Amino acid sequence: MVMVVQRRSGRSSGSFDGSHGGYGQRPRQERPRRSGGAGSRNGRQSGGRRPISKRQRAIYRRRRIVVGIALLLVLALISFCVYSLWQGFSAVARTVNHANVYALDRTSVPEPKATSGVGQCDESNVHLELSAKATTIPVGGSAQFTATIVHDGTGSCLVDDSTSSLVMTVTSGNDVVYRSDVCEADPHELLMAQGDKRADERTWNANRTGAKCVADAQLSKVDRGSYAVTIALKDHPKVVSDPVTISVQ
């Protein structure tokens, strides 16, 4: 029996393809490789570093700005401290130099300088008044006085009412018991015009002064007796108050 074999124009699905090692299998197609290798598939640059995003760059910029500001603040603080120390040292040096230049010898009180055009008060334009709160005190007690300067002249004048110039004197007969100018006092000048009055409180602790200035508590007390108290301008002895008698009992 004769079989007719008809050839087809193409290969049958069961034909053997020697080049692929099987029957009816199609050849595998290789996928094209991406340029850049595995590094590009992972999103990395060719150098192996990840690209910095815009957000990270902004964060880095802000950090640099903060660090820069902090450094500027530290430098400013250091500069301020150095400047303050320098100013302090300069002030101390100026103070010491000023004290050396203007140091005064306090062993003697400088004479007051009269204001230009105004003279010192004298008997022609002022008079003095003295009054006592009590005329009798015990031994070791104190007598309180009010000393008043009255301007009854026509022109203005200067008067020093310190205890060194407006002197209170206590006498017993011809014996000078107490003088307020034994201890020097700083000048205290007043400008007085017609009708002006100046009243000051004075105290005598019933004690006796000596030739030198000592503390009031170290002075000896006077004995019982009668004592006359006056005030007078030291540079103008004619300007003197009427005496006030104090009895020490």
pLDDT in tens, 5-63: 444 444 444 444 444 444 445 555 555 555 444 444 444 444 556 677 888 888 888 88
Fold exhibited by the domain 126-210+220-248: Immunoglobulin-like (2.60.40)
pTM of the model: 0.53
The sign of the dihedral angle between the CA atoms of 138, 233, 149, 200 is negative
139: tokens are 């031994």
Q: pLDDT by residue for the chain (249 residues), tens digit each? A: 334 444 444 444 444 444 444 444 555 555 555 544 444 444 444 455 667 788 888 888 888 899 989 999 999 999 988 888 888 777 777 766 655 544 544 455 556 555 557 899 999 999 999 999 999 999 999 999 999 999 999 889 999 999 999 999 999 999 999 999 999 999 999 999 999 999 999 999 999 999 999 998 899 999 999 999 999 999 999 999 999 999 999
Burial of 192 (0-12, 13-18, 19+ CB in 10 A): buried
Spell out the residues 6+ positions from residue 134 whose beta carbon is closer than 8 angstroms to its own. Answer: 143, 144
The sign of the dihedral angle between the CA atoms of 135, 140, 141, 147 is positive
Tell me what pLDDT residue 85 has: 85
Tell me what pLDDT residue 40 has: 45
Tell me what pLDDT residue 26 has: 54
Tell me what pLDDT residue 92 has: 73
**C-beta atoms surrounding 233 within 10 Å:** 22
**What is the Cα–Cα distance from 131 to 168, expressed in whole angstroms?**
12
Q: Is 77 helix (H, G, I), strand (E, B) or coil?
A: helix
